[in-house]
Amino acid sequence: MNNASVEKRIRELREKIRKYDYHYYVLSESLISDYEYDQLYKELEKLERENPHLITPDSPTQRVGSDLTKEFPPVKHRVPMLSLSNTYNEGELYDFDRRVKENLPGGSKVEYVTELKIDGVSVSIIYRNGLFFKAATRGDGFTGEEVTNNVKTIKSIPLKIDDQKLKEKGFNDFEVRGEIFMELEAFRKLNEERERNGEKLFANPRNSAAGTLKLQDPQLVAARPLDIFVYYLLLEKDIIKTQYETLITLKELGFKVNPHFKLCKNISEVLEYCKEWETKRDDLPYEIDGVVIKVNSVEQQKILGNIAKSPRWAVAYKFKAKQATTKIKKIVWQVGRTGALTPVAELEPVFLAGSTISRATLHNIDEIKRKDIREGDTVIIEKGGDVIPKVVAVVLAERSPESKEVKIPGECPVCGSKLYRPPDEVAIYCQNTNCPAQIKGRIKHFVSRGAMDIEGLGDALVDLLVDLGLLKSVDDIYNLKNHYDELVNIEGLGHKSVNNILSAIEKSKSQPLERLLFALGIRYVGAGAARKLALHFGTMENLMKATEEELEAIYDVGPQMSKSIRAFFDNPENRKVIQRLKEAGLNFTASVTKTGAQVLMGKTFVLTGTLGSMTREEAKNKILSLGGKVSSSVSKKTDFVVAGESPGSKYRKAKELGVRILNENEFLQMLEKGEAVQ
């Protein structure tokens, strides 16, 4: 074959394989036998091997890379990946419908699209020039992690969109979002295999999909049957008018769209759909945890906008949790990182919603008393979302005379020290901050994924290192390198894994302040608050100097949190830990700082409508404090109009003049990040 005909043949083979893949993986139909398919694939591989200069990233042979993914770099989402607020019953669904209508011009007709809520992991995929370009996880909604190599292995995701289709549609660059999941059968098989190999089991299909997406080796990912349903299309221009049209367009572009979506004329049709799928959910080969209801019209979606992290134009209807009946063998007390004791029921193993359950949380002693739960009782347990299963009720008819009431322990079950119950709390605490259970809990939290993300320092290893006395507090992690000999002698750890762990520890030193703050486990400071604090103060030193009043002045930081932060930094033990972390070379600065805080310098804002999260006066002060100006009327010179609820004539004027309009969420992000202003 001459060069031109090789190229032609390669192109032909790719087209064919693409077509067969599409039919097989997206439409679930086989057009040819496996044998014939393999022949084509092998021919393509051979031609590409002989002509490596002709290999392109969109070739079907390029789905599985051979290089390990060393890191999953952050990707900022062009439009935040929002989450949904939940409804649990008919009444709440009707409330949603009412709110939607109240926020639209009087007499608006509203149609909804209902979709199954797939219980998986959301992902964003960017296409450039019709080619798969980049994929990222949701992360905190604003910034995710790049998982391109792993997502590329999913065969139902096209690497290239048909040229003709793109021409018809009139766009080349776009972003799709959807849910990556694993079918139940595949999940069961995977867990069986893991059990055989003595590996840790995944709790449910969602966790196994999430875990797979973060594997470093794309070859391993490719061997796990991940799949996707897409439901969102983001274009440069607003050419699509409805969610229904979005789904059809996605289908036409070759994406896998869940077939059970429906256009509903009104909320009663929506409710009917929800009820129907709540009973039919077990017939599906994948897990769903509810229904997503979206206002169909994109124009109406725009008017409705978003509240904080979720849209006003969509809501989830969550199904009731699945239940099972089993027996409590024993009730034990677990000590967490804050010292709080949690009663846990050890159960006779029972299969529920895709996995075997052998423990359930009982929350606290009041709950045990209220529900009269005793050792030996037969109980109903349920699993909702990602929480640990809980005991819903006792089957009293089956109570035996041997059932035993639970007593509050007199001392910490781990360190034996005295327990304390604060007057206005139900929780009981072990007050010994050196209790091994607390130390283990704090260290596990510190190294966890959302915190310092130190791979390789798993729960079992942390337990062991604490028991061996190598870890007493989080700063000891950075001293592990001086215990190399002890580490390599631990069973199951060789030179290679020790080196990997040590380099992951080194790498974690550059995590930004927001991660470190979260990792320290200050009471009430979650990942979101840590981000705000880091952004506001810029450095650990500044934050440590802040008074309660200064802390409270930050949006969303209440008195409880500010007190807790102050108490944390006033504690000499904690100060020592921080000093040692500093000496170890950890990064004490935030990833983005508002240095000088003048990020809105030179920008003029006009406010209209009511904001849900702050008064007009507060909004004005924030803009001024960031260097911006606030004007009372819209002109060509206005940079942004911030439109809250029921905006007035300024909104129309802004539209006429083409001034950029920010909804509340966009405005909040701008304040938070100080980045959106170019």
Looking at the annotation, which residues are catalytic? Answer: 117
Residues 348 to 407: which contact ligand IVH by CB under 6 A?
Answer: none
Stretch touching ligand IVH by CB under 6 A, among 12-20, 202-210, 308-316, 648-656 = 308-316
Pairing of strands 288-295, 640-643: unpaired
Cα torsion for 667, 670, 672, 678, to the nearest 10°?
-170
Which token pair is 490?
């631990």
Residue 300 vs residues 81, 295, 472, 677: alpha-carbon distances, Å: 19, 7, 56, 26
For residues 108 to 137, the per-residue mask of contacts with ligand IVH, x marking binding by CB under 6 A and - elsewhere, is -------x-xx---x---------------
Applying CB under 6 A, the site for ligand IVH has a residue count of: 13
Q: How far is the CB of 258 from ligand IVH (least distance, A)?
A: 7
3-state secondary structure of 416: coil
For residues 64 to 103, the per-residue mask of contacts with ligand IVH, x marking binding by CB under 6 A and - elsewhere, is ------------------xxx-------------------
**Shorter beta-carbon distance to ligand IVH: residue 126 or 454:** 126
**Shorter beta-carbon distance to ligand IVH: residue 160 or 294:** 294
Q: How far is the CB of 257 from ligand IVH (least distance, A)?
A: 9
Q: How far is the CB of 231 from ligand IVH (least distance, A)?
A: 4
Q: How far is the CB of 306 from ligand IVH (least distance, A)?
A: 8
Q: How far is the CB of 179 from ligand IVH (least distance, A)?
A: 4
Give the amino acid at 334.
Q
Contact 369, 353 (CB under 8 A): no
User: Between 527-537 and 664-673, two packed helices, what is the crossing angle to 10 degrees?
Assistant: 50
Q: How far is the CB of 629 from ligand IVH (least distance, A)?
A: 32
What is the C-alpha separation between 297 and 251, in angstroms, rounded? 19
Contact 128, 327 (CB under 8 A): no
**Shorter beta-carbon distance to ligand IVH: residue 209 or 535:** 209
Cα torsion for 654, 659, 660, 662, to the nearest 10°?
-30
Q: How far is the CB of 211 from ligand IVH (least distance, A)?
A: 16
Residues 237 to 296: which contact ligand IVH by CB under 6 A?
Answer: 292
**Shorter beta-carbon distance to ligand IVH: residue 117 or 650:** 117
Does residue number 316 form part of the binding site for ligand IVH (CB under 6 A)? Answer: yes
Give me the helices (H) in 471-595, please: 484-488, 495-508, 513-519, 527-537, 540-545, 548-552, 559-570, 572-583
**Shorter beta-carbon distance to ligand IVH: residue 246 or 432:** 246
**Shorter beta-carbon distance to ligand IVH: residue 231 or 317:** 231
Tell me the backbone φ, ψ of residue 102, rounded to 5 degrees.
-60, -30
What is the C-alpha separation between 472 and 590, in angstroms, rounded? 27
Among 311, 436, 512, 609, binds ligand IVH (CB under 6 A): 311
Give the amino acid at 510.
S
Which token pair is 555?
């949006």
Among 314, 360, 530, 659, binds ligand IVH (CB under 6 A): 314
**Shorter beta-carbon distance to ligand IVH: residue 84 or 451:** 84
Residue 650 vs residues 120, 442, 600, 632, 664: alpha-carbon distances, Å: 42, 51, 21, 9, 15
For residues 160 to 179, the per-residue mask of contacts with ligand IVH, x marking binding by CB under 6 A and - elsewhere, is -------------------x
Residues near ligand IVH, by CB under 6 A: 82-84, 115, 117-118, 122, 179, 231, 292, 311, 314, 316
